[in-house]
């Protein structure tokens, strides 16, 4: 059992899982019963967030070099880990027969825009340590639900060709196991209250927005 502010960070991870489970479209995804349109809509939202993550992580890391060199390295390593994950989502949509032109036309929902703008602000203008709060919640949620989603999509989904279109979810469930612990070990050295607040605040923004990326494709 973690003590102090780290336990508050775990609380935000759990809040994200709870919000995910309470979202009807996310529940359908979890049970392998999501419609093809809603699934593609989600992949587009995730792709649009993820495609800008590496450069944001790298930028946030570069702003930490003087103050927290160890955290700067950890963040840049994370940038490398995330590189190419947007391609997973893109290929999943292509595997379902969506043409690039169609994918481009899928709109972004408010939650996607909010999370994307927030992460851009944190990386470029806000307190860059806060980016660990975003990464923590995303990497807490991925293995917490990703394995079950991948299993249920394979076993139950009636979407034609689904088994070739789950790389984004299956890949994250796999890759992010262990990442949560690595983040926690890295950020234990943070003691300044304003930095702790920045991490927890970004974690909260993420736990409120990311589960809402799951929405009905037709609004
Ligand atoms: Fe990723």
168/165 Cα distance (integer angstroms): 8
Which tokens belong to 32?
Answer: 């392998």
Judge contact between 130 and 7, C-beta under 8 A.
no
Which pTM was predicted? 0.95
Q: What is the pLDDT of residues 17-63, one digit of tens each?
A: 999 999 999 999 999 999 999 999 999 999 999 999 999 999 999 99
Give the confidence band of 166 by pLDDT, cuts at 50, 70, 90.
Answer: very high
Contacting residues for 39 by C-beta, under 8 A, at least 6 apart: 29, 96, 159, 165
Cα–ligand 1 centroid distance for 85 (angstroms) = 5
Neighbours of ion ligand 1 (CB under 5 A): 82, 85
Judge contact between 10 and 74, C-beta under 8 A.
no
Provide the percentage of residues in the chain whose pLDDT is more than 90.
Answer: 93
The residue extents of the domains of the chain are 4-213
Cα–ligand 1 centroid distance for 192 (angstroms) = 29
10/139 Cα distance (integer angstroms): 11
Looking at domain 4-213, its CATH class is mainly alpha
Provide the percentage of residues in the chain whose pLDDT is more than 70.
Answer: 97
Cα–ligand 1 centroid distance for 50 (angstroms) = 7
Judge contact between 68 and 188, C-beta under 8 A.
no
Q: What is the pLDDT of residues 91-142, one digit of tens each?
A: 999 999 999 999 999 999 999 999 999 999 999 999 999 999 999 999 999 9
156/111 Cα distance (integer angstroms): 28
Identify which has the larger pLDDT, 204 or 1: 204
149/9 Cα distance (integer angstroms): 24
Alpha-carbon torsion (145, 146, 148, 153), positive or negative: positive
Give the confidence band of 177 by pLDDT, cuts at 50, 70, 90.
Answer: low
Cα–ligand 1 centroid distance for 89 (angstroms) = 10
Cα–ligand 1 centroid distance for 145 (angstroms) = 14
Cα–ligand 1 centroid distance for 33 (angstroms) = 23
């Amino acid at each position: 059992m973690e003590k102090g502010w780290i336990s508050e960070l775990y609380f935000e991870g759990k809040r994200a899982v709870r919000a995910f489970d309470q979202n009807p479209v996310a529940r359908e995804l979890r049970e392998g019963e999501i419609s093809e349109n809603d699934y593609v809509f989600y992949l587009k939202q995730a792709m649009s967030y993820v495609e800008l993550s590496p450069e944001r992580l790298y930028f946030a890391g570069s702003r930490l070099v003087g103050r927290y060199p160890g955290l700067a390295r950890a963040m840049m390593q994370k940038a490398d880990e995330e590189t190419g994950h947007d391609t997973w989502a893109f290929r999943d949509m292509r595997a379902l027969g969506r043409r690039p032109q169609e994918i481009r036309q899928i709109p972004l929902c408010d939650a996607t825009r909010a999370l994307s703008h927030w992460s851009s602000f944190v990386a470029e203008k806000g307190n860059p340590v806060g980016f660990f709060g975003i990464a923590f919640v995303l990497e807490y949620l991925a293995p917490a639900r990703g394995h079950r989603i991948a299993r249920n999509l394979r076993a139950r989904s009636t979407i034609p060709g689904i088994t070739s279109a789950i790389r984004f979810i299956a890949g994250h469930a796999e890759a992010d196991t262990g990442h949560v612990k690595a983040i926690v070990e890295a950020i234990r050295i943070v003691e300044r209250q304003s930095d702790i607040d920045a991490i927890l605040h970004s974690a909260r923004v993420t736990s409120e927005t990311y589960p809402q990326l799951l929405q009905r494709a037709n609004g």
